[in-house]
Amino acid sequence: MSGKEVEIKKKKTAHLRAVFFDKIAKYSIYAGGIAVIIAITGILAFIVVEAFPLLTGADGKEAAVIKEKKYGLPVLTGIDEYQEIAYMITDSASVDFIRLESKTLIKKVVFPELKNRKVLTAVSDISKKNIALGLDSGKVALLNIDYDVSFDKKNNRIITPQVSLITSFILDSSLQSITSMEYQVDEDGNPTLAALTKSERLLLYSKYKETSLFGDGEITEYKYDLSNIIKSKITSLAIDSECKKFMAGDDKGFVYYFDISGKDNPRMEKRLDVLNNSKNGITALKFILGDQSLIVGSSDGKISSWMKITDDSSSTGWKWVEAHTFESHSAAITAIAPSTRNKSFITGSSDGEIKLHYLTSEKMLLSVTEYKLPVKYIEFSPKSDGAIILYKDGLVSNYKIDSPHPEVTLFSLFGKVWYEDYKQPEYVWQSTGGTDEFEPKFSLIPLIIGTLKGTFYAMLFAVPLALLGALYLSTFSHPDLRNKIKPIVELLAALPSVVIGFLAGLWLAPLLERILPGVLLMLIVLPVTVILGVSAWRYFPGLRFGLKSGYEVLFMIPLVILGIMISIELSPWFESIIFGGDFRTWLLDSFNTNYDQRNSIVVGFAMGFAVIPIIFTICEDALSSVPQHLSSASLALGASKWQTSIRVVLPTASPGIFSAIMIGLGRAVGETMIVLMATGNTPILSFSPFNGFRTLSANIAVEIPEAPYHGTLYRVLFVSAVLLFLLTFIVNTVAEIVRQRLRKKYMHI
C-alpha cells in the first residue's frame, strides 16, 4: 500500500467515524429532548392520576356464601375483624362459629339456660360484641361475643372465638314473644334495650350502675311500657350508643323521639313527620357513628338522614332536620348497618339490593344485587372493610369492600356540605380532629377564596406601583438612569420569597399593627407630597440641586421618605381623631371584625413586593419596545409628553402590560412561603382585609407532611395541586399568547 492509499483509508475511517458519531449524537439528542419534554408534561399527568381515585366509588366482591342450612336457620350473623370466622345465632338459640373459607363449623355453643327456647329476633350493638336475643314467652338473653387473636411460632394468626351468656330474664311480664329489638351498651357498660312484643307492646329496659366513691355502686333496673304513649303501630327502633336518644318509627311515616338520658324518666319529646305525609311506613332506623345522625328507611325504599341541631327560635332550643337524602332502593328498606370507622352505612331492601352510602357526601359508593331475596340483616365487619349479609331463608353472604375515599365527591370539594354539629350546610376545611368520631372536612372553597384574596391584595398593591414605575422609567426618565435602575429591579425578581415572608411576618406585621392609621394616612399625605414636589420643581428651580429633567425620581425619594415619616408621626393623632383613640376597638365596634396581626394587608404588601419586579420588568419591556416613531409623531403634532405616553404609548403596549399583570398574577397565586409566614393560615371564609386566610399552596405545605400516603387527605391535596397547576398554566399561556401577538403587531407598525 502506498502512502496515499493509507491516507485515503485514514480519511475514510475518519469520515466513517464522524458519520457514526453524528448519528449517535442525533439519536441521543432526539431521545433526550423528547424524554425531557415527556417528563415535563408527565408532571401534570402524574398529579392527576394520583388525585383521580378520589372520585371513584367502592369496590366490593362476594368472598364467601353459606347456603346450606345444616346448622339451623340463622337469625343474626356477625364476623371477626379479619373476616375469617362468622358467627350465626340460630333460631334454636345456638351460636355457631363457621370458618368462611372452608365453610366448616369450628365451634357450636348451646347454653343450657336457653334450651328449647326459640329465638325470634336478635340484634347487636354498635361495638358488635354485645348481642341481645329476643325469645318466645317474653324472655330476653344477653350475650357477649369476642375473638381472641394470637400468633403461633411461624407467625400464623390463630383466632379463637369466645361467647358467653351474660344474663337472661323475662322482659315482658305478659310472657308474649319478643318480635323486634334494639340494644345498646354505653361506655360504662350500662345496657339499654327496646323491644316490641307480639301484641305490639313497646317496652324499654335499662340497667344502671350507680358509680359511687366507695367501690361497687348499686344496680338499678328500669322497665317501662311505652305503648300507652304511642298509639300507632311501631315498626322499627333505634337507640344511640350513649343510650340517650331512643327513636321509634311507625307505619304512618312518623318517628317518635324519646329523651332517655334520665334513666328513671324517659320522655317523649317530639313526633317527627319524616316522610312528609306520604302514607309510607318507616321500615328501618339506625343511628350512625357519632350518634348525631339517624338514618331512616321507608317502605318505598327512600333513605334519608335526620339530625338534631340547636335552634334558638324554638322553645326547646333544638329541632330535628332532614340533612341528607340518599339514592333510593326500589323496594322497602329492611336493614341498615352503620360503620364503626366512619360515617358510611349499608342499606338493604326487600328485593335483595344492597347499597353502600356515605353520610355527609351523600355518595352512593356501591350498589349490588347478588340474590333476589329479602335482606334480613346486615353487619359491617369491625374494620369496615367488609360486611356480612343475612338474607331470608338463612342465606349468609360475606362481602369484601374496599372503599378508600367515601367522604369526597366533586360536590363535597366545591359545594356546601351539611356536616354534623353544623346548623346549615357550609364550606369547611378541617382535615384533622381530636376524636375517632371526627369527620374530616375537605372543602376547597375557603382555600380558593383565600388564594384569590391574597392575590387580590397583592395585585392591588403591586400593579399601580409597578405600572407607574415602568411608565416613568420607559418614557420619562433619562436613559442613563434607566440603564442603572432596570437591572436592580430585575435582580429583585430573584429575591427568595422566604426572605420577604420572614420580614413580613416578623417585622412588618408587628409594625403595621402599631402604625396602621399612619399607613392609611399615607394615602392622603403622599399624593400631597407629590404635588408639593412638582410645584417646587417647577416654580423654584433653585431647589432642583442640579438634577436634570428625567431625574425627577431622585428628587422624589427624599420627599417620599418625608411623607412616610410625617404620616407615621401623625399616626397617633390621626388615630385619636378618626378612630376615637384606638383603631382596633373602632374596627370591632363598627364592622364587628377582629384585627389579626398577620392579615391580608401584610400579605398584600409582602406578596405585592414579590411580584412588583416581574410586572415591572415585563411592563417596561413592552413600553420601551413601542416604536420610537409613534411617540415622535405624537410629540411633533404638539401633544405633551404625558398626552403622548397615555394616548399613544400605553394603548400600543397594553397587550404587553396585560400579559405582565397575568404573569404577576400567576406568581402570586402560587406563592407559598410568603403566605405561610405572613398569614395566620386559618382556613376561614372571610373577606375582611384585617383577617388572615389560608391559600391552596400554603395548605399543601402545611398538611402534606402529615398526610398518609394514598389517604384521602393526600389525594385531596393533589387535587389542589392540579388546580394550582391548571390555574397558573392557563394564566401564563394566555399571557404568552398575548405577548407573541404583540410582538407580531410591532413588526407591522
Partner 1 sequence: MKQLFKTGEVFIWFTGFGLAVTLLMISGLLVLILLKGSDYYYPSKLASVSTVDGKNYLGQIVREESIPKTNLPDSLKEKGLDRYNLKIANRDLYGLDFKWIEEPEVQSITYHEDAAVIERMEFGNFNGFPNKLMKDGQTILEGDENLESGISPYISEITDYRNELNRLSKSEVGKINYKIEQLRSDIDKIKYENRDDESKAQDKINEINNEIEELNSNYALITHQVDSIKHIASRYSLFVRTAEGDEKEIDLLNIVRVYYPNRMSITQKAGFMISKVYEFLVEDPRESNTEGGVFPAIFGTVMMVILMSFVSVPFGVIAALYLREYAKQGSFVRLVRIAVNNLAGIPSIVFGVFGLGFFIYFVGGTIDQLFYPEILPTPTWGTGGILWASLTLALLTVPVVIVATEEALASIPRGIREASLALGSTKWQTVKKIVLPAAAPGILTGVILAMARGAGEVAPLMITGVVKLAPNLPLDGNFPFFHLDRKFMHLGFHIFDVGFQSPNVEAALPMVYMTTFLLILIVVLLNISAMLLRNRLRKNYKSATF
Contact 175, 231 (CB under 8 A): no
Closer to partner 1 at the Cβ: 186 or 490?
490
Closer to partner 1 at the Cβ: 217 or 487?
487
368 lines the binding site for partner 1 (CB under 8 A): no
Burial class (CB in 10 A: 0-12, 13-18, 19+), 330: exposed
562 lines the binding site for partner 1 (CB under 8 A): no
Closer to partner 1 at the Cβ: 18 or 577?
18
535 lines the binding site for partner 1 (CB under 8 A): yes
The three-state secondary structure class of 198 is coil
Which among 222-230, 322-330, 363-371, 558-566 is the span making contact with partner 1, rule CB under 8 A? Answer: 558-566
* Residue count, binding to partner 1 (CB under 8 A): 112
How many other C-beta atoms lie within 10 A of the C-beta of residue 744?
A: 8
According to CB under 8 A, which one of 224, 358, 616, 693 is a site residue for partner 1?
616
Strand 441-442 vs strand 353-358: parallel, antiparallel, or unpaired?
unpaired
Place of cell 357477649: 144
Closer to partner 1 at the Cβ: 411 or 729?
729
669 lines the binding site for partner 1 (CB under 8 A): yes
Whose CA is closest to 326, among 349, 298, 358, 300? 358
Shortest distance, CB of residue 55 to partner 1, whole angstroms? 17
Shortest distance, CB of residue 501 to partner 1, whole angstroms? 8
Contact 283, 236 (CB under 8 A): yes
Shortest distance, CB of residue 121 to partner 1, whole angstroms? 45
- The runs of H, that is alpha helices, within 415-508 are 445-471, 479-492, 497-503
Which among 187-195, 218-226, 452-460, 672-680 is the span making contact with partner 1, rule CB under 8 A? Answer: 672-680
How many other C-beta atoms lie within 10 A of the C-beta of residue 576?
A: 13
| Integer Cα distance of 91 and 69 in angstroms | 11
According to CB under 8 A, which one of 4, 70, 153, 538 is a site residue for partner 1?
538
505 lines the binding site for partner 1 (CB under 8 A): yes
Shortest distance, CB of residue 692 to partner 1, whole angstroms? 14
According to CB under 8 A, which one of 377, 574, 609, 690 is a site residue for partner 1?
609
Distances in Å between the Cα of 598 and the Cα atoms of 483, 497, 680 are: 37, 17, 6
Which among 241-249, 271-279, 290-298, 669-677 is the span making contact with partner 1, rule CB under 8 A? Answer: 669-677
| Integer Cα distance of 94 and 79 in angstroms | 16
Cell for 71? 346448622
| Integer Cα distance of 246 and 256 in angstroms | 8
469 lines the binding site for partner 1 (CB under 8 A): yes
How many other C-beta atoms lie within 10 A of the C-beta of residue 492?
A: 16
Which among 210-218, 298-306, 360-368, 553-561 is the span making contact with partner 1, rule CB under 8 A? Answer: 553-561
621 lines the binding site for partner 1 (CB under 8 A): no
According to CB under 8 A, which one of 275, 653, 677, 713 is a site residue for partner 1?
677
Residue 153, Cα to own-chain centre: how many angstroms?
44
Shortest distance, CB of residue 564 to partner 1, whole angstroms? 8
Cell for 61? 366482591
Distances in Å between the Cα of 455 and the Cα atoms of 85, 567, 661, 665 are: 58, 27, 11, 7
**Bridge-partner residues for 295, per DSSP?**
286, 305
Radius of gyration, alpha carbons of the chain = 38
531 lines the binding site for partner 1 (CB under 8 A): yes
Both ends of the chain: CA-CA distance in Å?
69
User: Which regions of 328-385 does DSSP assign to beta strands (E)?
Assistant: 333-338, 344-349, 353-358, 364-369, 375-380
Residues 11-50 that bind partner 1 (CB under 8 A): 18-19, 21-22, 24-26, 28-30, 32-37, 39-41, 43, 46-47, 50
Which among 168-176, 194-202, 418-426, 570-578 is the span making contact with partner 1, rule CB under 8 A? Answer: 570-578
Shortest distance, CB of residue 329 to partner 1, whole angstroms? 39
According to CB under 8 A, which one of 1, 158, 213, 488 is a site residue for partner 1?
488
231 lines the binding site for partner 1 (CB under 8 A): no
Residues 373-402 that bind partner 1 (CB under 8 A): none
Shortest distance, CB of residue 626 to partner 1, whole angstroms? 15
485 lines the binding site for partner 1 (CB under 8 A): yes
Shortest distance, CB of residue 104 to partner 1, whole angstroms? 28
Place of cell 404583540: 742
DSSP class per residue in 677-689: HHS---------T
Contact 138, 173 (CB under 8 A): yes
| Integer Cα distance of 353 and 356 in angstroms | 10
132 lines the binding site for partner 1 (CB under 8 A): no
Closer to partner 1 at the Cβ: 73 or 491?
491
Closer to partner 1 at the Cβ: 597 or 733?
733
Dihedral (Cα; 653, 655, 659, 665), 10-degree rounding = 100
According to CB under 8 A, which one of 85, 255, 611, 612 is a site residue for partner 1?
612
| Integer Cα distance of 579 and 647 in angstroms | 42
Residues 725-744 that bind partner 1 (CB under 8 A): 725, 728-729, 731-733, 736-737
According to CB under 8 A, which one of 120, 465, 566, 587 is a site residue for partner 1?
465
Residues 47-106 that bind partner 1 (CB under 8 A): 47, 50
Closer to partner 1 at the Cβ: 388 or 717?
717
Cell for 306? 335526620
For 295, what's the count of Cα atoms within 13 Å in the CB-facing half-sphere?
Answer: 32
Distances in Å between the Cα of 424 and the Cα atoms of 309, 321, 407, 416, 727 are: 9, 10, 18, 9, 30
What single letter denotes the amino acid at residue 319? K
494 lines the binding site for partner 1 (CB under 8 A): yes
Closer to partner 1 at the Cβ: 128 or 598?
598
| Integer Cα distance of 703 and 447 in angstroms | 13
641 lines the binding site for partner 1 (CB under 8 A): yes
Residues 681-720 that bind partner 1 (CB under 8 A): 697, 700-701, 704-705, 709, 717-718
Shortest distance, CB of residue 375 to partner 1, whole angstroms? 39
Cell for 364? 352512593
Closer to partner 1 at the Cβ: 368 or 559?
559
Shortest distance, CB of residue 330 to partner 1, whole angstroms? 42
Contact 66, 98 (CB under 8 A): yes
Closer to partner 1 at the Cβ: 241 or 617?
617
Closer to partner 1 at the Cβ: 321 or 734?
734
